[in-house]
Amino acid sequence: MTALVIVGHGTRSAAGVDQFAALVERVRRRGDIGDVEGGFIELSRPPLTDAVGALVARGHRALVALPLVLTAAGHGKGDIPAAMGREQQRHPGLTYRYGRPLGPHPLLHEALAERIDAALADTAPADTAPADTAPADTAPADTSPLDASPADAFPAGVDRAGTWVALIGRGSTDPDANAEVAKVARLLWEGRGYAGVEPGFISLASPSVPEVLDRLRRLGARRIVVAPYFLFAGVLPDRIVAQSAEFAAAHPDLDVRVAEVIGDCDALAELVLERHAEALGGDIRMNCDTCAYRVLMPGFADKVGRPQRPHDHPDDPVGHHHHHGHDHHHDHGSVAVVGGGPGPDDLITVRGKALLDAADVVVVDRLAPQGLLAGLRPDVLVIDAAKVPRGPSMAQDAINAALVSHARAGRRVVRLKGGDPYVFGRGHEEVQACVAAGVPVAVVPGVSSALAAPALAGVPVTHRGVAHDVTVVSGHLPPGHPDSLVDWAALARARGTVVLLMAVDTIAKIAAVLVEHGRAPETPVLAVQDAGLPGQRSVPARLDEIGTVAAREGVGPPAVFVLGPVVALTTTGPST
């Protein structure tokens, strides 16, 4: 029989460690598997490397690794497989089959119902073993809770019809894991006679414990059982108890009780054995239809196609590891540098909007679509990073520092920029700062005003038989400036389209130099101001007159100048 290593995340709770050890012993004593060990990936002993090492020392080279987690979030998807990969490096020739997470499963639903009923009846579930008590060799004979009807299974004194249940899960930045908790809530309610079951989370996701309890109160609940959807005792279950007690104290008209965690029990041991058998048979039936790494989920667009980055753990001697110093999760912050488009709210990309909707902090440019800020959650921190010409300006170093510090604090940060972040937007400087600080960073391209403004004014920057090239130039430095990198003479000799950004103050000098070096004075030019916005206007002129015309017409930033024969193709006609 292939040996089994049961892999837990780890906890600072001594009771939780004891319950994990008791479950491992319970599975071992069942005798269905030849050899069983258990270990943690962090925070607790024994570490996984000791558990695997013990099995290898006893001659095992093929294992089943079972993640003792309820949902397929980051630990199950990334951290545990990475830890097992390091064990394979440590033990050449070692192979393993990976089991699937435990839930949702009817055995767990019945265990939850027993814990809820015990809280109602103020009794302890019959098949649980205290952390310091050896588990029974076998499950109770003859009957299973699954064999009885819900009505027959009610303990004396239990009023399910008058009881609402708040099912509280861990919470994750993985939407699929959160959705499973909601699914368990529905399955727990089906046919069991509770007044209702509402899901909630203790960290990283909404609704919170107080929010769920308040919702049930508004629905008319007078008795609520808070059911932690957790395997063992730990910091987060303790927090559920504390928050429930605080809510109950503020609402003395409510009867609020907290059920025990699932804990070491026969149902959990039975499920471990079932998952072991599935892994051996290759029947793991993973659901990937709503995995945020595979499909676009609103608010989680930054995950699509990205590698799942497992975290190093302090008890693993392979490589360079560090302790993260947190109580319950590895969900670090991140930065997304997002191009917001040329100005209108509806020209941001779908992915950019999804990231914005999920953001905790938004660092925004003056030229980014300001209307999108009104749709942010009320708790989102908005930082104005405007760089106003001859006006208020946030230094680039300060912007970089803000991105890094908020990401390191565990927040999802969006750097919302106008146009495209890599087209004269200093976006790559911000990416470099994040990379240097070890902060995960992604770039979401945007619709650049260099292409959008001419298009919105009816001008194609390329057209068959008219222009086969387009050059985008920054005009913030005039010709002759010692810091300018533009070869204006070569640009004057080109025959294609030229688009000038940030050139309101320099357009007269630029036009003069282009004419001086050979560009035809009659070359048509169009200035497009406030492209895509209600105040958009277009100002046409010849190249040798554009400086004078722009000044006379009061053309101001943001404005784009497009010059070349394509300007004559405009479909909307000139406007001033």
Active site residue 1: no
Which residue is catalytic, options 79, 302, 365, 420? 365
The distance from CA 245 to its chain's CA centroid, rounded to whole angstroms, is 30
Closest CA to 460 of 519, 523, 407, 526: 526
Are 99 and 66 a contacting pair, CB within 8 Å?
A: yes
Closest CA to 415 of 395, 400, 435: 400
What per-residue string of b and e applies to 349-361 under the rule 16 or more CB within 10 Å gives b? bebbbbbbbbbbb
Residues pairing with 201 in the sheet: 169
Which residue is catalytic, options 159, 214, 387, 394? 387
The distance from CA 256 to its chain's CA centroid, rounded to whole angstroms, is 32
Closest CA to 231 of 169, 188, 179: 169
Tokens of 419: 């146009």
Are 575 and 559 a contacting pair, CB within 8 Å?
A: no
Are 284 and 99 a contacting pair, CB within 8 Å?
A: yes
What per-residue string of b and e applies to 110-122 under the rule 16 or more CB within 10 Å gives b? bbbbbbbbbbbee
Angstrom distances, CA of residue 99 to CA of 29, 38, 79, 141, 169: 20, 14, 14, 28, 21
Question: How many Cα neighbours within 13 Å face the side chain of 430?
Answer: 34
Are 227 and 116 a contacting pair, CB within 8 Å?
A: yes
Closest CA to 103 of 16, 212, 185: 185
> Taking CA 117 as the corner, what is the angle to CA 115 and CA 118, rounded to the nearest 5 degrees?
60
Q: Is 58 exposed, middle or buried (0-12, 13-18, 19+ CB in 10 A)?
A: exposed
Are 91 and 170 a contacting pair, CB within 8 Å?
A: no
Q: Is 487 exposed, middle or buried (0-12, 13-18, 19+ CB in 10 A)?
A: exposed
Q: Is 545 exposed, middle or buried (0-12, 13-18, 19+ CB in 10 A)?
A: middle
Peptide bond into 92 cis (omega under 30): no
Q: Is 79 exposed, middle or buried (0-12, 13-18, 19+ CB in 10 A)?
A: buried
- The amino acid occupying position 288 is C
Tokens of 85: 């990969």
Active site residue 394: no
Catalytic residue ranges: 365, 387, 502
